[in-house]
Amino acid sequence: MARRKEREMIVEIAALEKSFKIIGANIRSMEHVAAILSKFADKKVDSAGRDEIACQAEFCLFRDKAMKKASFFNGTKIDCHDCYLSMHAVCAGIWRAEEWQLTHDVDQTFSCLKCSGCSGSVSCMKKAMGTIGSLKRREIEEKKEIEQRRREKEEYVTSGPTRSSLEKVWKKYGADVCAFKQTFCGNHVYKLLHTRAINEYMLVFPPTPNRDRIRDLLLALGDVMKLCVSSALTEYEMDELEDGIVIFSS
């Protein structure tokens, strides 16, 4: 069971990491797209790129050789649903990974940049910048999510072994908390409050001031318990009981 849960967590994290990588690649390629669109605006397109007469977009990005660097996108073509022109999907403004995936779907319809209200290279470039901005925000969100999941997994795998080490030490002191035996009772709790037992099983936890504080509380509680079984307490025992209560309640 424990192993299965751990495996599931690993698979989920791997899926998130994959999606995070895709967004990163999407962003880097979009930065090239935005840069080429700004070259169109400045009329500085490096036209040593592919001569793509077949693309009827207002700004065919592949005319600039820098488009080779935008490896997230390939020369996939679409037909605009509104103007019926045929063009590269990326030149039509199909920029986000999830939209890009839909280009494989024959039933999907698309509108080019111009038909969706982007006319002129400056406004297309602004739209590209906007897409980059929102992808970057999502990238940050996904990074947080991955870190959170990694922490959860780390907690999960460390709490498992801690529990079994604890059980081992407890058993040594006569308190078997093994779930299938179901015999754990007050007597066992009492055994776990012996000074030597406490000092040993508290070492299972990582050394922190908190651990030491909990250990001191348990030791004090153990002292209180020990003295409560005697019918009459000596003066020394009375003092000890008082000390125990003081530590326990502070």
* Shortest Å distance, C-beta 123 to Zn ion: 15
Of 74 and 187, the one with the shorter C-beta distance to Zn ion is 74
Residue 123 CA to residue 38 CA, distance in Å, equals: 10
Which has the closest alpha carbon to 24: 106, 110, 138, 103?
Answer: 138
Residue 211 C-beta: closest distance to Zn ion, Å: 49
Residue type, 175: A
Question: C-beta of 97: minimal distance to Zn ion in Å?
Answer: 16
3-state secondary structure of 79: strand
Residues in touch with Zn ion (CB under 5 A):
28, 55, 57, 60, 62, 69, 80, 82-83, 88, 91, 112, 115
Closest-CA residue to 91 (of 65, 39, 128): 128
Distance between CA atoms of residues 118 and 40, nearest Å:
14
* Token pair belonging to 225: 């318990």
Give least dist CB 70 to Zn ion, A.
7
Kindly report the number of other CB atoms within 10 A of residue 157's CB atom: 15
Nearer Cβ to Zn ion (79/240): 79
Q: Which is nearer to Zn ion, 94 or 202 (CB)?
A: 94
Burial degree of 249 (CB within 10 A; 0-12, 13-18, 19+): exposed
Three-state SS at 229 = coil
Alpha-carbon distance of 210 to 151, in angstroms, equals 20
Asked if 103 and 81 touch (Cβ cutoff 8 Å), the reply is no
Minimum CB separation from Zn ion for residue 52, in Å?
Answer: 5
What are the tokens at 169? 């030490």
Cβ proximity to Zn ion: between 112 and 118 the closer is 112
Closer to Zn ion by CB, 2 or 83: give it: 83
Least Cβ distance, residue 96 to Zn ion (angstroms):
18
Closer Cβ to Zn ion, 119 or 158, answer by number: 119
